[in-house]
Amino acid sequence: MVQQNIELGDLTDKNIGQLKLLNSTTLAVTYDDKFYQKLLGNGFITKLAYFNDILVGAVSCRIDPPTQELPHSSLYIMTFGVLAPYRNLGIGKKLLEFVESLCLEKNYQKISLHVQVGSEAIDFYKKYNFIIESTVNNYYRHIEPPHCYIMAKSIKKQ
């Protein structure tokens, strides 16, 4: 694994078009311009992953406020993708490590996300100790299968 070639960068109004292109290539769901503009605002965190200065992956999260079940805020992964030729090089791992370290730093107790039933991403998340919490039928409108799992990982300070 050649980790020294992987760098993380911030989302700006200058590279948001690159994120749109990356997501249109790696995700089954399409997002509108309003979604991307929201990512530049407060309450959202996006990291871009570069391999030899080429954008090859990204994660976008929103901060969810505390609830009765979770007395601290949590992170919800809205989008997560790595271009197919760059998978298994540690890029997804580095993006997840960023999310987890942010949770530890900010005392967020949980990371959660929706994953399409049958997606190869399920095994990726399980490898990093995410569990399937529940199934949501007919979650997606324009893709097959339309069902998804809610996967989550608890974060605790050591």
Give me the active site residues, please. Answer: 76, 114
Q: For residue 79, give the nearest of 113, 104, 111, 56 by alpha carbon.
A: 113
Q: Quick check: helix, strand or coil at residue 32?
A: coil
Half-sphere exposure of residue 94: CA atoms within 13 angstroms, side-chain side: 24
| Whole-angstrom distance, CA of residue 30 vs CA of residue 68 | 32
Question: Angle at the Cα of 158 (from 60 to 114), degrees rounded to 5?
Answer: 30
Q: Which amino acid is at 112?
A: S
Strand order in the sheet with 54-64: 6-10, 44-51, 54-64, 74-82, 110-116, 148-154, 131-136
